[in-house]
Amino acid sequence: MIEKVELGKTGLNIHPIGLGANKIDEENKKTNTEYGGKVLSTAIENGLNFIDTAYYYGKGVSEEIIGKTLKENNSRDGIVITTKGAHKFTNDGIILDNSPAFLTNAVDESLKRLQTDVIDLFYIHFPDENTPKYEAIGALQRLKEAGKIRSIGVSNFSMDQLKEANQDGYLNVVQANYNLIDRSAEKEIFPFMLENDISFVPYYPLASGLLTEKYTKETVISDKNKARPQFQDDVFMKHVEKVKNLRGIAEKYDVKIHHIVLAFYLTRAPIDAVIPGARNTDQVLSNLKAASIQLTPKDIQIIEDLFPLD
Ligand SMILES: NC(=O)c1ccc[n+]([C@@H]2O[C@H](COP(=O)([O-])OP(=O)(O)OC[C@H]3O[C@@H](n4cnc5c(N)ncnc54)[C@H](OP(=O)(O)O)[C@@H]3O)[C@@H](O)[C@H]2O)c1
């Protein structure tokens, strides 16, 4: 049984391996919510209790699947639901909006889709250009005081935006891109998190699958991944080679490379939990195993040397 950890200073107790739920809507868009629900309920039955979603994931479909599944299984208690808002879908495309009125409405709409009275953690998904960040966070603080959300997060904010967002000390969690291939958050953001008691949740922890054993130099890259920087020809070849070098550590623990990668993140001071995206029940079950690995200082050094900070 894995011990739960507190997410920063939020009072929320979570299993350190969460579920990134941006895929659970994909397989069933054409049919129904059964598939995504199965991924989620399998995760919960096996101890996972930290779910990361957003309105943006399927325009509310991921949230709806989570709401429906938790309701049907009567399993909302003990589950920490995090969601995000900022995207406004219009006839002219997507507009980002952090205005207090928009965020207040976004929280109400997410509560309905999630079929719950309170969202454990609500993030501003992306910064907009116009709203002062302390005003946006002030709106979330009022929603917290009203009991609609339990804690406050932001995602994809620059360092200056983070400082402005936290000027009244209301920020609990920051979510941003971080993985072995791009460790740049360690330079400026991690020290800020530690100074301000803010927890850091990395997204793309598996670099969209590249930090697993599924890729070899011969793998044909899917159209979706082709656009991502880490899948460009030379870069891809270089990373496949480096990832292979983690096999020795994985064998020592009798696990797979992605377990070592996830376990490494949990050694970083501001990270309490990770949210790998899972496409199916096998992936979600496999990822949970990473929580029981305790890397030694020597293993950590080897990993840092293989994937150095730029
Ligand atoms: N705040 C933001 O702006 C933002 C942006 C992106 C993501 N996120 C959040 O972060 C979460 C994680 O990001 P992500 O899902 O995009 O990327 P990720 O976690 O780096 O990669 C997920 C992919 O890795 C592969 N994978 C996962 N578990 C595996 C396993 N056990 N064995 C082999 N392959 C495995 C799967 O690839 P295949 O699909 O190829 O099978 C899966 O789709 C998301 O679900 C979302 O909740 C937030």
For a substitution probing ligand 1, which of 154, 279, 281 has the most ligand atoms within 8 Å of its CB? 279
Find, among 33, 216, 35, 47, the residue nearest to 113 by Cα: 33
Asked about 57 being catalytic, the answer comes back as yes
Can you read off the two tokens belonging to residue 189?
Answer: 């953001």
- 140 and 103 Cβ atoms separated by less than 8 Å: yes
Q: Which atom of ligand 1 is nearest to the CA of 175?
A: 1
Can you read off the two tokens belonging to residue 282?
Answer: 């096998």
- 40 and 65 Cβ atoms separated by less than 8 Å: yes
| Cα–Cα distance, 148 to 140 (Å, whole number) | 9
- Read off the pLDDT of residues 13-23 as tens digits, 9 standing for 90 and up: 999 999 999 98
User: Measuring CA to CA, how many Å separate 187 from each of 112, 178, 281, 309, 310?
Assistant: 39, 11, 35, 8, 10
Mean pLDDT of 218-247: 90
- 51 and 57 Cβ atoms separated by less than 8 Å: no
Q: Which atom of ligand 1 is nearest to the CA of 202?
A: 10
User: Could you tell me the end-to-end alpha-carbon distance of the chain, in angstroms, rounded to an integer?
Assistant: 37
- What is the 278 CA–ligand 1 centroid distance (Å)? 6
Question: Mean pLDDT over all residues of the chain?
Answer: 94
Q: Is the pLDDT of residue 267 over 70?
A: yes
Predicted TM-score of the model (pTM):
0.96
Q: Is 131 in the pocket of ligand 1 (CB under 6 A)?
A: no
Q: Whose CA is nearest to atom 41 of ligand 1?
A: 279
Q: Is 156 in the pocket of ligand 1 (CB under 6 A)?
A: yes
- What is the 85 CA–ligand 1 centroid distance (Å)? 19
Give the contacts of 11 (CB within 8 A, at least 6 positions apart): 150
Q: What is the pLDDT of residue 255?
A: 98
Q: Is 278 in the pocket of ligand 1 (CB under 6 A)?
A: yes
- 35 and 3 Cβ atoms separated by less than 8 Å: no
- What is the 22 CA–ligand 1 centroid distance (Å)? 8
Mean pLDDT of 91-99: 97
Q: Which atom of ligand 1 is nearest to the CA of 155?
A: 1
Find, among 247, 303, 294, the residue nearest to 266 by Cα: 294
Mean pLDDT of 205-222: 91
Find, among 156, 136, 146, the residue nearest to 111 by Cα: 146
Q: Would you place residue 71 in the very low, low, confident or very high pLDDT band (cuts 50, 70, 90)?
A: very high
Q: Is the pLDDT of residue 291 over 90?
A: yes
SS3 per-residue string spanning 213-259: CCCCCCCCCCHHHHCCHHHCHHHHHHHHHHHHCCHHHHHHHCCCHHH
* CATH architecture group of domain 5-209+269-293: Alpha-Beta Barrel (3.20)
Q: Is 203 in the pocket of ligand 1 (CB under 6 A)?
A: yes
Mean pLDDT of 138-158: 98
Other residues' Cβ atoms within 10 Å of the Cβ of residue 168: 10
> Residue 47 region, left (φ>0) first, then alpha (ψ -120 to 50), else beta?
left
Domain residue extents for the chain: 5-209+269-293
Q: Would you place residue 27 in the very low, low, confident or very high pLDDT band (cuts 50, 70, 90)?
A: low
Q: Would you place residue 252 in the very low, low, confident or very high pLDDT band (cuts 50, 70, 90)?
A: very high
* Element at 106 (helix H, strand E): helix 100-114
Can you read off the two tokens belonging to residue 144?
Answer: 């917290």
Catalytic residue among 55, 57, 178, 265: 57
| Cα–Cα distance, 13 to 3 (Å, whole number) | 9
| Cα–Cα distance, 61 to 283 (Å, whole number) | 21
- 7 and 148 Cβ atoms separated by less than 8 Å: no
Q: Whose CA is nearest to atom 7 of ligand 1?
A: 203
